[in-house]
Structures are given as C-alpha cells and as structure tokens.
Structure 1
Amino acid sequence: MVVGIDRLGRNAAEVMKTIRELGQRGIVLRSLGEGIDTSNAAGRMIAGVVASLAELELELGREHRTAAREARKARGQAIGRPKVLDAQKASLAQRMHAAGEPATTIASTLGVSRATVYRVLAQDNES
C-alpha cells in the first residue's frame, strides 16, 4: 500500500519501473490516495497516467517558480528570504557586543535567535 502513486519515484519512468519490479515479485500495489490497484492492466495503465500527471505538475511548478524569480530579478526586487536584521539593527548588535553584552541579551533585545546574532557578528568581523 502507498499513499500516492507519485511517492514511488522521482518521475513517471521511475514509478513505472518500481511498479513493474514489484509486479515481478508478485506484489500488488494499492494506492490509497487514488484508489488504484496494480493487479490488472487497467490499474497499471492508470498508475502510469497518474505518475505522468504528477511529473507534469512538478515541472510546471518548477517553470512557474523560475519565471517568477526571473521577473523579480528583472524588476530589481529582492530574491530569497528577507534579511532578519537590517543594517541599523546589525550595527546595534555589533555595538552591544563591543560593549560586552552576551549574545543571549543581544538576541533578546533584537527579537532574533542567538544563531542570527552570531551570524551577524561573524559577517561584521569578515568585512
């Protein structure tokens, strides 16, 4: 039993290979999500179609994300996760550290994790 046919492999060919190998061992696959049973030819054919549709959906999503990223880049917008600390807060963290404040206090004051404080301090030391 599987939750979904698409969980059997990274692409349709891999899914069908897995189904074929399981069938050669006498293992019948039942998909809970799609209600597919590979004990007959129709079930195997439907499994192939579902796997192909899942692969298509994955590729379309990838194309959409790439196009969106390129559009943001063309408009000069930031790509990726926004910075947790802006330059002003990073400067405050540096001053607090120079004054001897522990990272825990700096993190609490700025509302960020200690790991973020350490990363900002390390970046400031590199420049």
Structure 2
Amino acid sequence: MAVFGYARVSTTDQTTENQRLEIQAAGYVPEFWHADTVSGKAHARQRKEFGRMLDKLRAKDVLVVTKLDRLGRDAADVLATVRLLADMQVEVVVLQLGKTDLSSAAGKLLVMMLAAVAEMERDLLVERTQAGLERARAEGKTLGRPLKTTPEQRKAMIEGYAAKIAVSALARQYGVSRATVLSVVKPA
C-alpha cells in the first residue's frame, strides 16, 4: 500500500505547496507526489501528472487530495474519476470531506452534491467575470494587453508595408516583433 498525494493549480503564478502542507498536516506522508498546473476546465484524464499517477496506482493504494474539485472539472468528471479509482480499488481521501468512503452509496451522493455545487460556483464566477467585462466595455475601457505601438506608429507601419518595406525592417525600426508588425499590417 502506497500513499499518493495529488494537487492542482490553475496558473503558473500559483503553487501547490499549500496543498502539500495541508496533506502533511492531516497526517499523510505521500510516497509519490503528483501536481498539475492546468485549468480546472481540463478533465482529470487530460492532465499530464494525473495520468502518470493513474499508471502508478495499484489496488489498496491511497490517494489524498485537499478538495473534491482537484479530482475533476465538473460533477460528471469528478464522479467518473471517483468511480475509476474505486474500480481500481484505490482509497480516495478528500481532506475537505473527512474520512468518508466515496465508493459507498452515501459517499457517491456526497460527491455528486459537492461536485455539482463546485460546478455551479465555477459557472457563477464565469458569469460575474463576463458581466464585469461587459460593464468595462460599456464604460469605454480598453480591455486586454496594452498596445505596443501608438496609432501613429501603426499608420506608419501600414504605409511602410504598402511601400514594400520588409516586415523584419519595420519590426527593427519600431522595436517590436515581426508578429506585432504583421498583426498591424495584416489584421485578422
């Protein structure tokens, strides 16, 4: 019997260290540690480290995660992942849930309810983000990265390109990449 720890964060700005510390504080010392930096939108089986971990897991092993949403992207994915692990005879410990047998009828119900709530929270977050973006647009705010060039520089690039000046020369002249010049002279 081996103990596996798994953590996931969404961006490279985040770290899985807090999840590791939480697992250790709960008394688990994972012999194998797997962590992914991938959006919660990716299904569990699409995650590189999760897939590697699945290849190593054997019957009677223990998988420890801090929260249920580490196991999948939505209610269906979490349930499928829990079923897969149960079929593999792997004990899944979700610290958020305490010592609940996720393969029991009550455990399955709990997993489904919590995964559905997590999915709803994620959907509400997306809705709030979209509403904020729409409000910002309505207020006339420019969204996205700041432009690397001024309107005058963009006009000069277009004129230079029309006069057959090479894209590389324009990029050097304005201190930007060729891709930036191309996005100005040949907009999508």
Judge same fold: TM > 0.5, yes or no.
Answer: yes
Once the two structures are superposed, the pairs formed by residues 72-91 of structure 1 within 5 Å of their partners are 72-91=136-155
* 1: CA distance, partners of 2:169 / 2:118: 48
2:128 maps to amino acid? H
Q: Which has the higher helix share?
A: 1
Runs (5+) with no aligned partner, structure 1: none
Aligned residues: 123
Q: 1:64 aligns with which of 128, 145, 157?
A: 128
- Report how far residue 81 of structure 1 moved: 4.0
Residues 54 and 111 (structure 1), Cα distance of their counterparts in 2 relative to 1, 3 Å cut: farther
Residues 38 and 116 (structure 1), Cα distance of their counterparts in 2 relative to 1, 3 Å cut: farther
Between structure 1 and structure 2, the one with the greater Rg is 1
1:114 maps to amino acid? R
For residue 161 of structure 2, what is the aligned residue in structure 1?
97
Q: In the alignment, is residue 14 of structure 1 matched against residue 82 of structure 2? A: no
- Report how far residue 66 of structure 1 moved: 1.2
Contact 1:37 1:43 in 2 (8 A): no
Q: In the alignment, is residue 116 of structure 1 matched against residue 180 of structure 2? A: yes
TM-score, normalisation: structure 1: 0.66
Structure 1 window deviating more from structure 2 (84-93 vs 63-72): it is: 84-93
* 1: CA distance, partners of 2:168 / 2:113: 54
- Report how far residue 117 of structure 1 moved: 0.7
1:55 maps to amino acid? E
TM-score, normalisation: structure 2: 0.49
- Report how far residue 91 of structure 1 moved: 1.5
Runs (5+) with no aligned partner, structure 2: 8-64
Residues 108 and 47 (structure 1), Cα distance of their counterparts in 2 relative to 1, 3 Å cut: farther
* 2: CA distance, partners of 1:44 / 1:37: 13
For residue 24 of structure 1, what is the aligned residue in structure 2?
87
Aligned partner of residue 26 in structure 1, secondary structure: coil
* 1: CA distance, partners of 2:83 / 2:162: 65
1:8 maps to amino acid? L
- Residue identity (%): 31
Task: Let me know the Cα RMSD of the aligned residues.
Answer: 3.5
Contact 1:8 1:18 in 2 (8 A): yes
